[in-house]
Amino acid sequence: MLLVAFLLATVLLTLSIAASPVEVHTSAITLPFAKRLSTEGGTIKLLERDQARATTLRARGGAIASGHLGRRASSIAVTNEAVSYIASVGVGSPATYYDLIVDTGSSNTWVGAGTPYKATSTSTNTGQPVSVIYGTGSFSGEEYTDTVILGSLTITKQSIGVASTSRGFSGVDGILGIGPEILTEGTLTNEPNTEIPTVTQNLYSQGKISSEVVGVFFAPTTSASSTNGELTFGGIDTSKYTGTLTYTSLTATSPACYYWGIDESIAYGSTTILSTTAGIVDTGTTLILIATNAYTKYKSLTGAVADSSTGLLRITTSQYNSLQNLDFNIGGVTYALTPNGQIWPRALNTYIGGSSSYVYLVVGDIGWNSGSGLDFINGQTFLERFYSVFDTSNSRVGFATTAYTAATTN
């Protein structure tokens, strides 16, 4: 019997209108979300899934740069979304609520992978075919405009995709895309040069929020029954971080520049393993992926071995006790990922095909050497230790430590 596990229960959306803790001139909305871990189809292949996504992200960015977005892959490997952050989002009037993956690495919002789309009086079919390939899955269908509900705030005439077919999205209903608008270019089949305003842009243009800013908070967890994250649209929640929130400009290096791309260097202890280069910050990637040459250095320095069952690097308990910090230098500020932040939660080893006797590292090989223009992905396991802010208005990304930066829960 296949094991189906949920790391955190999907939660119904609740809303709090932030007052003093949120640094905006008008109200911001806070959208709680839950981490979900599913083993439909067998044990979770984290590295395989994340590498496939990375390959697609790099290719799509390259296609945007070259103007070849109309060229679609004829076939893709399909892997079910394994570790996702899920928000409950209403569509229509009266609203149907959908469990949508929160994704900073894509920008289309769509439904219908699980719960069928229900047309209401606010639904308009634009007649436009729409499709997106994600590397580990895809969807195709038709574009509608409809009312979208985030808590008590309502977006009118938001473009959404309504899936007629989807692959790789078992157990969820679709995606809430909060990446840059340019990532929607090429997704409307008959209008490949058209960009689709995102939910964040429409919240701003319709006067619901005062700035195009999204704050993202995750907390590391091994629990199976609690909500461990929130999105704040239109501001930042100062109660969710400690110290100083520091911003860095978006990178100008292609193809990372088409995403939430930044420049950073990485050091293990006192040894630099990745010189300053461009990569992206992505809620849709589980692991921290780094260029192959950096990964090789990290593997050697930690004494880890490649585990054939999980695909991840594996160390013993005694080696874990000797791990050093993995330091990310971003905009002149060092963000230290502690030894505990570098490992997969040991209570969840069996979900990834691992053994309770070992410790597995969450740093993986992206699949190519540095110099590609997208040499790292700071995924969920990085974001669970640092508060992040995605600021479209000022073309920047911000980070700060949290109460969980030095947590030892893993």
Q: Which of 263, 282, 327, 375 is catalytic?
A: 282
- Residue 183 phi/psi, 5-degree rounding, is -70, -15
Phi–psi pair at 188, nearest 5 degrees? -90, 115
Quick check: is 146 catalytic? no
- Active-site annotation holds for 103: yes
Residues with catalytic function = 103, 282
